[in-house]
Structures are given as structure tokens and as C-alpha cells.
Structure 1
Amino acid sequence: MSEERTNHRLMILGAGVMGVGIAALGLGSGLPVTLVDVDEARLEQARRRIRRELKLARLMGALPDGAAPGELTTTTAAKDGAAATAVIEAVTELAEVKAAALAEVSALVAPGTPVVSNTSSIPIDELAASVARPQEFLGTHFMNPPYLIPTVEVIRGRRTGDPAEAALVSLLTALGRTPLVVADSPGFVTSRVLHPMINDAIRTVREGTAPAETVDALFESGLGHRTGPLRTADLIGLDNLADSLRVLHERTGDPGCEPDQLLLDKVRAGHFGRKTGRGFYDYGGNPS
């Protein structure tokens, strides 16, 4: 294992889709990972999902050749990961939940440890009020699945210091990712542009202009997108998409960001996309 990798020990808060994906990326890159969640049953499920994702990532050639997998520790106590050299928070996309998790963990880790919120939309300066050392706090936006998409949006808040940014860039480099640094703003770049567009695509389906399959085909074969907006929504998670749109709507006032009723209906029915087996498409009832 390279010295670059051995210098990093990663703690991840949250064993949901993104927490599991980031953990799989870290482990597959040879880093030791402590995965923290309040629910032991969820951690057991996460261990199984991580094994599947690592197997898939290897089959797809998405991990470094010859890298011995890192050691995974799962726990319900954040203090068990206090020796980490970096923390990535990946809990649900609700500001109050993230703030509580960040407040706890930032008080546990040693000064100089970057604390990172993986968020698709919540401004970093807003969350910085909850951490012990705002100069060591910044954001990331990993795309799903993290082991397949090499680019990571890095969000620098007004109080983020240069050492914290350098430490995060070092970690992302060790993970084989390409960091692109942007300024802080609701939704940053990707979500501010993409999520309202997906919301518009959902609206066209609800209004009967075209079914989901046709909308996606037009974007894929007509505009050259790798996946259409509705398949992308299912991959993001419709619940996460709705939460992100609410953040954008509340903080920007853009009426185009108000979650469409069809999206809200699907979330209310528990149809969150690939992770539940059904969203705009049916995945056979089998969560991914």
C-alpha cells in the first residue's frame, strides 16, 4: 500500500446509500474505515451492501489494481472513530440532523482533523455554526455510486482554512478521485443546475406530455446524456431529491425548485427509486 493511503483513516457518519458507497470506495482503495450509525440493524445491512459493492467495483475495474482492502469497523458510537484523520458526514439531507451529527463528532476528533459534510444542497456556512472548529469544516458532494464517478465537488465555506482544504484534497487523491473546488451556495453547482431540471422532467410526466421512458430517451439519444433525468432521479433517491429541492426552494426562493407533486406522491408511497426497488421505474422490488 502506498504511503499516501496509509496516512489516512476515515470515519463516515451514516450507513445510508452514500455512506455505504463512500465506505466501499475507501475500503477498496486500501483505507481503514469506521462506519457509524445509530441503528445496529442498519449497520448489519450496510456490511452486506459494502461487500456487494466492493465485488461489483472490482468486476468493473473501478478500484486500484492490487490494493489490499482496508479494514472496516462498524459502530453505533462515534467515539470509536475518534482517531480518524478525516470525517465524512453522510446522514440524511436534513440540516438539523446533519448539524447534530457534526456537533458531536467535531468535539471528539483531534484538532487539525477535517470534518466534512457530504451534502447535495445545504450551504456549508449554515452547517459551520454547529462544529467546534469552523476553519476545519468543508463540504463534498460525491456522486452516486462514488466508486464509479471519479469527480467530487468540494465546497469551501467562508471560514474554511487552507490546511483543511489541502487535507481533503489529499484524501480524495488517495481515493483516486478528482476534486473540483467551488464556492459555497445552496446546491453549489451540480445540484443547483441538475435538480431543478429533474423537477421539470417530473412535471412533464405528471402533466402527460410524455412518459418517463420517452423523457429519458430524448435526453439519452437526443442530447447525449449518459442517463435520463428520471433514471438519474431513481439513482439519487426520490426522498433525497425531494429533500434537496426543499432546501433549494427555501434558500433561493426559486419556484422551479418546489418539489413537484408527483415526486412527493412517490416519496409518500415509499417508492424512493433503486434503493427500494421502485421509483419512476420498477426494479423488480429488489433494492440495489
Structure 2
Amino acid sequence: MQRISVIGSGTMGNGIAHVFAQYGFDVALVDIRETALTQSLETIANNLDRQIKKGIIAIADKENILSRITTHTDVGAGVHAADLVVEAATENEQVKRSLFEQLDKYCPKQTILASNTSSISITKIAAATQRPDRVVGMHFMNPVPLMKLVEVINGYSTSADTTNKVLALSKQLDKVPVKVNDYPGFVANRILMPMINEAIYAIYEGIADVEAVDTVMKLGMAHPMGPLQLADFIGLDVCLSILQVLHNGFGNPKYAPCPLLANMVAAGKLGKKSGQGFYTY
């Protein structure tokens, strides 16, 4: 696989495009907004500059990497020759199912369709296509250029050949892939989100303030970032969405989102991206 299409040029999408281009793949970055694509390329260029300063890549590598990325506002044009498509659109099941239905029509029959979803069922996404055996989860961690983990998620019908190809491809990106099965939240968010939710409950119930909760987890549990600061970086709306997927998927009240989280999202306090969450940015 050499030709990669990435759908969505937000934080995850531009990071995924960056990494594939850095490791020699030809990348088509697709978004419906031209302004988003322009901003995405600027972000990638800035992140490459950081890698140059850290000695990760050479100065001459920057232009070579950027030259491997083309941008498209038309989905069909962006994926018609892809060996692999990685979808990194908004974390919404209906949006993803609609998008995969389109991808199934536009892509060659042999193309593997991957979703960067952090919690939504790969099986449900694959059901919108005529190639469920070639649909897989490829859940990168943020920030993509720095984080080693990739959760490779098997849907109910994902073939062993598809899974093995994506595992091997992840290793080509100098990532550490972990194969998991398709249940709500997979592994990473099934464990992480209840912890974040419990930290929010500690605030909601007046047990301690924000900095105290984060300090306990950083100094007492050796976490590099406290759960409330991490929630701000993930996006409180994304945290709420994942908890709702867990709660609906398992029907267990332990996954019910804290009312404080729901209220903050309703008020537009989404974390770093909105300038205000548990912290001010």
C-alpha cells in the first residue's frame, strides 16, 4: 500500500497525513472546506519545524514530506486511487456511516477502508458498505506524530488479511499496533473515559478542586497529565460522546456521563479548542 487518503483535516486528520507522508507514502488529504485544508498544511509545516529543531528529521526532509501531500475538496477525486482510506471525520455514527457508504462507491474494490473512530462500532460502520471484510479500525492517539500506539480494531466481518495488512502498515509508520475486538470504547477509551468521568464527578461532588484532582493523579499515579487537563485537550464534547457510546452500548450506569460534563458541553465549554474547559487557554 502506497497511496493513502485521509478524510478530515482536523487535529487527527492532519496528524495522520503528516505521519504517512513522513514515512514515504503519497497522501491525499480530503476536506469539504478549502480553508480547513490550508490551515491543516500550515499545522503540518509547523509540526515539521518542531521535528527539525528536535533533530527528528533533517531540514531537507520538510519540503519532501509536504510535497507528498495533495489536498482535495471532492471526496471522489481524493479517494479514487487509494490503497487505504483513513477516515478522521467527526465522532458521529451517522456521519461516519454516510461517509463510508460514499467511500464504498468511489474507491476501488480492493481498497481498505479504515476509521480513526475512538469509540464507534466498526461493525456498524462496515454495514454501510459492500466490503465489510475490508473495513477496520485504525485508532491513532493524539498527537499523532508523537504517540506510538495504534489500536487496530476488528469489526465482526473484518478479514484476517485486512487486519494483518493494517498491523504491518502501522509498523511501517514506527507505531506500535495493538489488535483489539469491536466492543464499545475498544480498550483505550473503555479504561480512560471512566477515569476522566470519575475525576469530573470528584469536582461535581465538591471533593476537591480541579488542580488538586490533577495533582493527585500526576504525583500519586505518575500520569504525565492530569485527567481533567487531558479531557480539555481531547475535547469535552468528544469525552461526552464517547461516554454516551459506552453507556448506550453496555447499558451499565457506571458509564453514565457526569451531569457537570454535559452542562459544560451545552454551555460551549469544550476545553482547549474553545479556550475554556476545566482550565482557561
**Aligned counterpart, 2:49:** 55
**Aligned counterpart, 1:36:** 30
1:10 maps to 2:4: yes
One-letter amino acid of the structure 1 residue matched with residue 26 of structure 2: P
CA deviations over 1:67-91 (Å, ceiling 9, x no partner): 5415211111112222111100111
**Aligned counterpart, 2:180:** 182
**Aligned counterpart, 2:228:** 230
- Tell me, in whole angstroms, the C-alpha distance in 2 between the residues paired with 1:62 and 1:275: 27
Question: Is the deviation greater in 73-82 or in 193-202?
Answer: 73-82
TM-score normalised by structure 2 residue count? 0.92
- Tell me, in whole angstroms, the C-alpha distance in 1 between the residues paired with 2:178 and 2:124: 21
Work out the number of aligned pairs and report it: 277
Question: Identity across aligned pairs (percent)?
Answer: 40
Tell me the CA shift for residue 114 of structure 1.
1.0
List alignment gaps of at least 5 residues for structure 1.
Answer: 1-6, 284-288
Closer/same/farther in 2, CA of residues 184 and 207 from structure 1, 3 Å limit:
same
**Aligned counterpart, 2:107:** 109
- Tell me, in whole angstroms, the C-alpha distance in 1 between the residues paired with 2:275 and 2:55: 26
- Tell me, in whole angstroms, the C-alpha distance in 1 between the residues paired with 2:165 and 2:14: 22
Question: Is the deviation greater in 204-213 or in 27-36?
Answer: 27-36
**Aligned counterpart, 1:3:** none
Question: Is the deviation greater in 256-265 or in 90-99?
Answer: 256-265
2:77 to 57, 80, 87: 80
List alignment gaps of at least 5 residues for structure 2.
Answer: none
TM-score normalised by structure 1 residue count? 0.90
- Tell me, in whole angstroms, the C-alpha distance in 2 between the residues paired with 1:210 and 1:63: 43
Whether the aligned pair in 2 keeps the contact of 1:124 and 1:184 (CA below 8 Å) is yes
- Tell me, in whole angstroms, the C-alpha distance in 1 between the residues paired with 2:56 and 2:93: 32
Question: Is the deviation greater in 121-130 or in 21-30?
Answer: 21-30
Closer/same/farther in 2, CA of residues 98 and 260 from structure 1, 3 Å limit:
same
Tell me the CA shift for residue 116 of structure 1.
0.4
Tell me the CA shift for residue 94 of structure 1.
0.8
Question: Is the deviation greater in 136-145 or in 26-35?
Answer: 26-35
1:89 maps to 2:87: yes
Tell me the CA shift for residue 63 of structure 1.
5.7
One-letter amino acid of the structure 1 residue matched with residue 45 of structure 2: R
Closer/same/farther in 2, CA of residues 79 and 63 from structure 1, 3 Å limit:
farther
